[in-house]
Structure 1
Amino acid sequence: MKVIYFVAFIFQCISIVTGDTDDIEITPEEFFAVKNSLNFCGKVVLISGSSSGIGAATARLLSYLGAQVVITGRNETRVKEVADDCWHLSPHQIKPLGIALDLTIPGNVAILINETIKSYDKIDVLVNCAGIGLFANIQDPNFNDVYSQVRAINEEAHVEMTRLAAPYILNANGAIIFIASRLARNPTESTGAYSMAKNSLKAIAKTLAHDLGQNVRVNVISPGMVDGTRVFRLLPPSTRANSISTTIASTTLHRPAIPLDIAKAIVFLASPLSNYVDGKELQLDGGAFIPVF
């Protein structure tokens, strides 16, 4: 099989060099589709953890682009605030569905999916963004509790959400996006529980790319340090300034991300612009980790 691939590659190279290659025509309709690719009118996007941070920025941006969004979070006041913002940002004044609930409570994920279908009758895009940042050393007596809490929302809730939403996304030829973390790839001290939970999202995304086939694209975004998020604020006060400055210095862009930076990448993966991207991890760390190969 490797020999066949190699021979095919050689013939392709020869064809390119000699000019004996097909020039696949791009139709005017395809050009228009690219130009129109950020028009989300008629699309239903369910975003977990969208009452603050990355999720809230994503909800606002997608609303501005015409999507019907579902806002979720545990804080009812923040859910309402984001929902109101989305309503006013919507070009067609589409009022989003806002649901305040804790996704770690059994049955609540099903309630969220059912309410979404009841309101919109479909789901085009699922953004698994809910999460908490809790940290503990493996020798900490509370490590197991921390690990359980982190897994419950950062991993288990996302798996259940995806499982229940998958039939609708399949029907819509849609997209699923998981928000992991650079700590899944580059853990630091006391981040074991968080890093393991986030790393699992990369595994499930790559598996789903196979399981859900050609009609659904599944990808992962792994942000680095993001200002304006809860994890950013949870850095210990005694080391926060040094951690931030060290991280900024390690990036080629010399700044932390902001939620809108990540939201833009989510929109890309949710749009037709990424229709040949599947089972991949997009690392948004500002150039902090640039491998040689």
Structure 2
Amino acid sequence: MKILIVGGNGTIGNKVSAYFAKNHEVLIAGRNSGAVTVDISNSKSIKAMFEKTGTIDAIICVAGEAKWKPFDELSEEDYYVGFKSKLMGQVNLVRIGQQYLTKNGSITLTTGILADDPVPMTASAAMVNGAIHSFVKAVILDLEGKIRVNVVSSGLVEDAVDKYDAYFPGHNPIPMTKVINGYRKSVEGKGTGEIIRIYN
């Protein structure tokens, strides 16, 4: 398969990319580096990316940002960061990317445990993750028989413990092999509309 991995150089993305590159043709897209560059908060940039990649068999997105702040400090503009990047960025990858996928191709989005088990300072991030879950369950009703869409939602991954452990007291770090298997299930399996939760 020819697989486009948006955010393929990040903490999770680089491990996912390394796995799929063993048996597939992998194209990495990043904001500043990769085979192609893309700003997922900009639909024109997404369109330009697909014009460069051409037809592909699978899209994986491991990109998108949202503001982490105490609720009383979150401005309206802070919410729009997550809305434009992680939420609409991934929605637009589906909206535009479907035109460049082979029949029965797949799109895999990424959220996280905050959708189900939020921690302080994540009102914006948790909201965005939950919205993506609802989007995936709804959009496949219109795309059935054309392409598959799933979302991988992981807990705190082992490779990010040093950076985020203080925010997730008592959470069990998720081995990267389990995280990779979530993306394998989405891309190499046959399911669609699935929220693939990797929390334990």
Whole-Å separation in 2 of the counterparts to 1:244 and 1:136: 15
Specify the alignment match of 2:88 in structure 1. Answer: 156
Superposed displacement of residue 161, structure 1? 1.4
Provide the aligned length of Structure 1 versus Structure 2: 200
Specify the alignment match of 2:111 in structure 1. Answer: 180
Q: Does 1:262 align with 2:176?
A: no
Whole-Å separation in 2 of the counterparts to 1:259 and 1:130: 17
Specify the alignment match of 1:289 in structure 2. Answer: none
Equivalent residue runs for 1:183-194 within 5 Å: 183-194=114-125
Given that residues 140 and 193 in structure 2 are in contact (C-alpha distance below 8 angstroms), is that contact kept between their aligned partners in structure 1?
Answer: yes
Greater Rg by CA: 1
Q: Deviations over 1:27-49 (max 9, x none)?
A: xxxxxxxxxxxxxxxx1111111
Given that residues 123 and 172 in structure 1 are in contact (C-alpha distance below 8 angstroms), is that contact kept between their aligned partners in structure 2?
Answer: no
Q: 1:245/1:45 Cα in 2 relative to 1: closer, same or farther (>3 Å)? A: same
Given that residues 53 and 259 in structure 1 are in contact (C-alpha distance below 8 angstroms), is that contact kept between their aligned partners in structure 2?
Answer: no
Whole-Å separation in 2 of the counterparts to 1:223 and 1:70: 23
Q: 1:258/1:111 Cα in 2 relative to 1: closer, same or farther (>3 Å)? A: farther
Q: Deviations over 1:46-99 (max 9, x none)?
A: 11111111222111111112x1212111233xx3xxxxxxxxxxxxxxxxxx12
Equivalent residue runs for 1:1-293 within 5 Å: 43-65=1-23, 67-76=24-33, 79=34, 98-117=35-54, 122-140=55-73, 142-169=74-101, 171-229=102-160, 232=161, 234-235=163-164, 240-241=165-166, 243=167, 246-248=170-172, 256-271=173-188, 274-275=189-190, 277-286=191-200
Superposed displacement of residue 180, structure 1? 1.2
Whole-Å separation in 1 of the counterparts to 2:99 and 2:85: 22
Superposed displacement of residue 192, structure 1? 0.8
Superposed displacement of residue 187, structure 1? 1.5
Superposed displacement of residue 160, structure 1? 1.1
Whole-Å separation in 2 of the counterparts to 1:221 and 1:74: 21
Whole-Å separation in 1 of the counterparts to 2:177 and 2:11: 9
Q: TM-score, normalised by structure 1?
A: 0.63
Whole-Å separation in 1 of the counterparts to 2:177 and 2:78: 29
Q: Percent identity?
A: 20
Q: TM-score, normalised by structure 2?
A: 0.90
Given that residues 66 and 79 in structure 2 are in contact (C-alpha distance below 8 angstroms), is that contact kept between their aligned partners in structure 1?
Answer: no
Whole-Å separation in 1 of the counterparts to 2:132 and 2:96: 16
Q: 1:259/1:75 Cα in 2 relative to 1: closer, same or farther (>3 Å)? A: farther
Higher RCO, 1 or 2 (CA under 8 Å, sep at least 6)?
Answer: 2
Q: Deviations over 1:254-293 (max 9, x none)?
A: xx1244431222112211xx32x2212111011xxxxxxx
Whole-Å separation in 2 of the counterparts to 1:205 and 1:178: 9
Q: More strand per residue: 1 or 2?
A: 2
Given that residues 58 and 187 in structure 2 are in contact (C-alpha distance below 8 angstroms), is that contact kept between their aligned partners in structure 1?
Answer: yes
Which letter does structure 2 place at the counterpart of 1:246?
Answer: G
Q: More helix per residue: 1 or 2?
A: 1
| SS of match in other structure, 1:183 | helix
Alignment gaps of 5+ in structure 1: 1-42, 80-97, 249-255, 287-293
Superposed displacement of residue 183, structure 1? 0.5
Which letter does structure 2 place at the counterpart of 1:201?
Answer: I
